Amino acid sequence: MKRLLALLVLTAFSFSAHAEDTKPLKVLMVCGGCCHDYENQKHILAEGISARANVEFTIVHEETEDGKKGKDHKISIYSNPDWAKGYDLILHNECFGAVVDVPFVEGIAKPHFEGVPAVVLHCSTHSYRMAATDEWRKMIGQKSMSHEKNRDLHVKNIKPEHPVMKGFPMEWLDKADELYKNEVLYDNFVPLAKAYGEDTKMDHNLIWVNTYGAAKVFGTTMGHSNATMQDPVYLDLVTRGLLWACGKLTDDGKPVAGYEAKQK
């Protein structure tokens, strides 16, 4: 019995040491554009997610060339074909709906198709929507061209068995947010939560997962305001989606060992 106990203690110590040595996930956050407080949101997201998982952020925040918010700016790093190289996941929180350069937009989607996981938040779903290509939309999993009036949204968890949604309330209130209208849902789109649209008189999916080529993608159109992004429920949700997309979330909705937040 003593020998068995010693073996168990040694095994537990070795597992713990291995978990402590786990390198953080390297995440590139791309943000900027029209209509949102990206200057503060980038910090809310980076700090909130890092407090919940073993993640290290690199942040690229760009606006238009004159420094103003706009819809037609092309993020400079995307001009490099290897822009996503070296990252475990890309978090998109951008709003550039008027960019119509098809090769440029398809160059953003290409690394994801080849296997780089993604998280897409809020206006990322409306980014590049005027371009004559579906590749960005297919990466996201849906086509959306407009949203309803800003109002409180009653979010309904429709897939509580999914690892991302395990333990979340069956319903919760997302105050003063925008409900994006689902116009096309692509084949690999899996809805996780929905809300009722008072303008359209129908439900719209606002949390989902998707598969695009070799990549897993988590998306939510929630997140217009800083208050939504600061909500612990929202930060828990995005963190889980990020871990799921990277294959670092257990079936119980917990981080894989080593990918919990590092103790400070």
Average pLDDT, integer, range 196-207: 98
Chain segment 44-89, per-residue pLDDT in tens: 999 999 999 999 999 999 997 665 678 999 999 999 999 999 999 9
Segment among 4-18, 64-78, 153-167 with least mean pLDDT: 4-18
Answer whether residue 224 shows pLDDT above 50: yes
Alpha-carbon span 122 to 187, nearest angstrom: 21
Alpha-carbon span 257 to 90, nearest angstrom: 22
Q: pTM of whole model > 0.85?
A: yes
Answer whether residue 20 shows pLDDT above 80: no
The whole-number pLDDT of residue 68 equals 64
Alpha-carbon span 207 to 193, nearest angstrom: 5
Of the candidates 194, 221, 209, the one whose C-alpha atom is nearest the C-alpha of residue 245 is 209
The whole-number pLDDT of residue 64 equals 76
Average pLDDT, integer, range 189-204: 98
The whole-number pLDDT of residue 11 equals 31
CATH architecture of 24-245: 3-Layer(aba) Sandwich (3.40)
* pLDDT bucket at 21, cuts 50 / 70 / 90: confident
What ranges do the domains of the chain cover? 24-245
The whole-number pLDDT of residue 133 equals 98
Chain segment 84-129, per-residue pLDDT in tens: 999 999 999 999 999 999 999 999 999 999 999 999 999 999 999 9
Answer whether residue 7 shows pLDDT above 60: no
The whole-number pLDDT of residue 263 equals 73
Q: What burial class does residue 145 get, using C-beta atoms within 10 Å of its C-beta: 0-12 exposed, 13-18 middle, 19+ buried?
A: middle
